[in-house]
Chain A
Amino acid sequence: MPGYVSQDRNQINMNRLREESGVQRVGELVVVGPPGAAKQPFLSALCPRVEIANQDIILGSLPIHEELMVYCYGISYGQGFAWDLVGRKMLGYIVIFDWFDDQSFAGSKEIIEFTSSYFNAPFIIAADIGDRVLPVPECAIRPHIGLSAMTKFMFCRSNKPDSVRKVVVTLLDLLIEKLE
């Protein structure tokens, strides 16, 4: 599929996706992180189908049932991406970074400063620890640490499906709360 870069092409491609898949309702999530953050493993652990649109944008699709589909965009911050379009209708987003990498953390802060200024969507800050030992006792950070009504912090293992799903479920819970 063509890369989802410009707003026009983005819209065209989204429509094409809907036509091809025949779904009626679509939800979109964005997984964003600094370069090097494990967006592709995260999406692969979450979505049965993942396509790399270009080196900077990954698209995953998660069918729920025949009338409901979730699309997940994995993007590296700083690359061309139609934030203005996606930002309006995304369910929420996940900022992922490598917990043990200071540069990755610094990059995530820049992302957070940008996204939280422009979008009032709920988001999860997911600190990826991969296969490494959890840096603090689990009970201290279970189930997550709240930073605001619409923002939670969690550790995750980007290559483990149940860990990745927990992150997305937490984001969905924020959304459901927002709707109430």
Chain B
Amino acid sequence: MLLSISLKMELLRALLTGTALTPVLEPLPPTDLLLVHRFVWEKTLEFGIKMQGRHFPQDEIQARLRSLSQAQFSRGCPAKLKNCQLQECYMQQPGCMRAMALQQIEAMGSAVQEFLIIQ
């Protein structure tokens, strides 16, 4: 019950070529999405540190994810929560959680593109 190497490879190739991650992610169950989120987060942080130096803060990535959460809320949260918590909503609002996870993973993919200057 963890990400297969072939899936990690697929994700990594998409990150390094700047291609969309959603086609890879759509068939995945919610449990895998959470693991993918973590994997992509770790890789984004790794590329950030490698490209921008040791002081590269996690907030560079977190800020992008937060703004997505805020945008989502402006469209209405099904659970009427004040803050978006991916893992929290896994049980309560799996559909919304899936949409948010996909958006955040794509956002991290875009961040990697910027870091690696992929055209």
Instruction: Identify the A interface with B (CB < 8 A).
Output: 105, 108-110, 112-113, 116, 125, 135-137, 139-142, 145, 147-148, 151, 153
Contacts and interface: CB of A to CB of B under 8 A. Distances in A.
What interface size band does chain B fall in? 10 to 19
A148 B5 contact: yes
10 contacts: A108-B9, A109-B9, A113-B5, A116-B6, A140-B47, A140-B116, A141-B16, A147-B8, A153-B9, A153-B12
Given A137-B51, A140-B51, A116 B16 contact: no
A153 B10 CA distance: 12
B9 A140 contact: no
Contacts, number: 48
Contacts of B115: 140
Nearest to B16: A136
Interface in B16-70: 16-17, 43, 46-47, 50-51
B80 to A, nearest CB: 40
Contacts of A142: 50
Given A136-B16, A145-B12, A151 B118 contact: no
B117 interface: yes
B9 A147 contact: yes
A112 B8 CA distance: 11
Contacts of A113: 4-6
Contacts of B51: 137, 139-140
B50 A139 contact: yes
